[in-house]
Chain A
């Protein structure tokens, strides 16, 4: 695609996202806590029709074959409107893992299903809190003639309430396996814990679940590498979502500061609040600058070390900035910002959920320190 084509494409994407977000229903988000309907399949289908589920998926599987920079536009725009559907978990994390698969028939079926919204896959890779290392797992895949039997427990599965199946990682004598486990597979059970924003974190228990050879997505070092890359890419797109959250939150705060009057003046005229919001604005601009830079780096498919460093930079900054801005939004709204009815709280909660997913600020700084600073110094 030429430069001009691609910028036209991005403008189009951006417009369609803005239109969609304008019609998005915050009342639905508000009800999440009671109804747990974090994914409305009708909305999901609509998103598929707009092409968004397949932004990153190669054209031969029905996708758009575009770049992370394009995906970020969609994610950021939808996050501004608090759309709860699991776009990043599905269309980045799962889509990247599936695209790297060498099992062509399974890959075709799942990717086409993902793009059309007929199949919603969720990725169940993590077992421990606080690590992004895909090898830190104990789920076992024991081989037999027809495939594997897997046992173990996966935590923090996002986008799982409506999932039709799971991409599960497990250790086998031949290295890491990525396996497709349909939702109703015998021995697989999913339970949920509510997250701050009303969405759900899944725990998948697997006991002696049989996975046929045909359902092996990817194996060995290449599988581990594709999973790690998918996680980094998803962390970067989650950062784009955080940028959407912070920008809308700051906008709402600035609007409020222009209209709320105390001591006979708009509170936005108090210098301390002006300086405070200027600092928040700087954090927002830092975030978008880092985001653009890191997406560029990731789209060039650098080596694993460079890739992880870029993902960590952007996730650390965007997480911290979004948490700061949304928390300050409460403060600057005063008591009304502390009520359920005020949208400010919805942004705080979404920021917390996105912050904790795929490594929070501390986790990413820890990883960055390990690979970029400590190993660099001893190299």
Chain B
């Protein structure tokens, strides 16, 4: 089915379109077609809520703005990609269980083999499979390389034992990509492999975990003699760490996008209008500071996206994007609460000046950005070591 998307995407050269025309096309479509009751939700969308929209976008060829055209994506330039995100935010499109689009697709395009691409990419675009990420373990968070979930080859299958935690949306996923230990006798990073596993495989059990806002956001995933065919090894045996690092780079790029802070700005604008905050020079200072930070974030983001487009591998300096994006987002969410005065402690949406404003959700949503994808402390370690090359 996804070939439909690929065909129609190939027909239009989005990048050749005038920016405004492209924007208006997206805007009209997002406004008309996205289900109203799912706009501006204070949480990630569940798969059941997303699937219709996913399939619709896929048919239109608009599901994977960042994938190359030959694999069914839109192949957008950075400038166009940013327009795409801005319009998604403007329309309040929620975050779907999008690991297949943001992580697995780009990863298979780069590190997978032809059979894996042929098998998985169309299914991702078609919405037939939903992915989750099994990296972290209870004792392997920042120190991911110390992971202990192990896989042992038995005939044609790997047998997996151990447990993963903080697996976002695992309760909605049909497939999981996991980092497993396949050699205990070498340096930690050298004994890790990358496997793809069907969540329905016997031996997998889940415990859902509620986040600070009370939403069931992630799970602990237990593996008890779980078998997966050896064709599901991505890249070479014991070279999973390199792939994971490459993928983390994609993740940092995705977390570094200005799209999420943009949504918080919508809320801040509505609040400022309703409460006449632009009359207060103190507020205007803080607002403008963040507005300009966000503009500058877009410039920095554009620089990295442009590299990706030109096929230049992203280096450790991508960490600065992740740091600046997530820090800015948190500051913005904090200003939203502060500028809300008494309303800044309201747990639910408020109605002010005819607008529905959600002051609290951006606060919660922006918190984990500095923790996942490699915490910001770890990113700073990376920058100081590999970019600034300071002695350790």
- Could you give 25 example pairs across A and B, Cβ below 8 Å? A126-B342, A129-B341, A129-B343, A156-B342, A193-B346, A193-B350, A194-B346, A197-B345, A272-B380, A323-B334, A330-B367, A331-B371, A334-B371, A335-B136, A335-B368, A335-B372, A339-B212, A340-B210, A340-B211, A340-B212, A342-B212, A348-B212, A352-B363, A356-B345, A366-B282
A360 to B165: give the CA distance in the assembly, Å: 37
Given A340-B210, A356-B342, A263 and B141 contact (CB-CB distance below 8 Å):
no
Q: Does B370 contact A (CB under 8 A)?
A: yes
Q: Within 8 Å CB of B136, what residues of A?
A: 335
Q: Mark A349-368, 1 if CB is under 8 A from B, else 0.
A: 00011011100111100100
Q: Within 8 Å CB of A267, what residues of B?
A: 142
A19 to B346: give the CA distance in the assembly, Å: 32
CB <8 Å contact, A196 and B143: no
CB <8 Å contact, B344 and A194: no
Q: Within 8 Å CB of A33, what residues of B?
A: 214, 347
Q: How far is the CB of A160 from chain B (nearest CB, A)?
A: 14
Number of contact residues on B: which range applies?
35 or more
Q: Mark A244-286, 1 if CB is under 8 A from B, else 0.
A: 0000000000000000011110010010110000000000000
Q: Within 8 Å CB of B339, what residues of A?
A: 362
Q: Within 8 Å CB of B344, what residues of A?
A: 352, 355-356, 360
Q: Within 8 Å CB of A345, what residues of B?
A: 212
Q: Within 8 Å CB of B210, what residues of A?
A: 339-341
- Give 11 new A-B contacts, CB below 8 A, not counting A338-B211, A338-B212, A340-B210: A193-B348, A195-B347, A196-B360, A201-B346, A323-B334, A330-B212, A335-B166, A339-B209, A341-B209, A355-B345, A363-B341
Main secondary structure of the interface of B (DSSP, over half): mixed
Q: Does A130 contact B (CB under 8 A)?
A: yes
A151 to B347: give the CA distance in the assembly, Å: 28
Which among B337, B342, B370 has the highest number of chain A CB atoms within 10 Å? Answer: B342
Residues 177-216 of B contacting A (Cβ, < 8 Å): 209-212, 214
Smallest Cβ-Cβ distance to B216: which chain A residue:
A340
A335 to B369: give the CA distance in the assembly, Å: 10
Q: B-side interface residues toward A, CB under 8 Å?
A: 136, 139, 141-143, 146, 165-166, 209-212, 214, 218, 275, 282, 334, 337-348, 350, 360, 363, 367-368, 370-372, 375-377, 380
Q: Within 8 Å CB of A348, what residues of B?
A: 212
Q: Within 8 Å CB of A356, what residues of B?
A: 337, 340-345
- Size of chain A's interface in residues, with CB distance under 8 A? 45
Q: Within 8 Å CB of A126, what residues of B?
A: 342
A339 to B208: give the CA distance in the assembly, Å: 11
Which among A198, A323, A338, A341 has the highest number of chain B CB atoms within 10 Å? Answer: A338
Residues 187-230 of A contacting B (Cβ, < 8 Å): 193-198, 201
Smallest Cβ-Cβ distance to B142: which chain A residue:
A262
Q: How far is the CB of A126 from chain B (nearest CB, A)?
A: 7
CB <8 Å contact, A263 and B377: no
CB <8 Å contact, A338 and B368: yes
Smallest Cβ-Cβ distance to A34: which chain B residue:
B214
A141 to B340: give the CA distance in the assembly, Å: 29
A339 to B211: give the CA distance in the assembly, Å: 4
Q: Within 8 Å CB of B166, what residues of A?
A: 335
Smallest Cβ-Cβ distance to B364: which chain A residue:
A338
Q: Does A183 contact B (CB under 8 A)?
A: no
A41 to B220: give the CA distance in the assembly, Å: 39
CB <8 Å contact, A353 and B345: yes
Q: How far is the CB of B120 from chain A (nearest CB, A)?
A: 27
Q: Mark A159-192, 1 if CB is under 8 A from B, else 0.
A: 0000000000000000000000000000000000
CB <8 Å contact, A362 and B275: no
Smallest Cβ-Cβ distance to B143: which chain A residue:
A262
A267 to B165: give the CA distance in the assembly, Å: 19
CB <8 Å contact, A357 and B368: no
Partner of B371, one of A155, A270, A272, A338: A338
CB <8 Å contact, A361 and B338: yes
A128 to B215: give the CA distance in the assembly, Å: 32
Q: Within 8 Å CB of B338, what residues of A?
A: 360-362
Smallest Cβ-Cβ distance to A197: which chain B residue:
B345
Given A273-B377, A362-B338, A366-B282, A335 and B345 contact (CB-CB distance below 8 Å):
no
Smallest Cβ-Cβ distance to B363: which chain A residue:
A352
CB <8 Å contact, B141 and A195: no
CB <8 Å contact, B142 and A334: yes
CB <8 Å contact, A195 and B346: yes
Q: How far is the CB of B241 from chain A (nearest CB, A)?
A: 15
CB <8 Å contact, A357 and B211: no
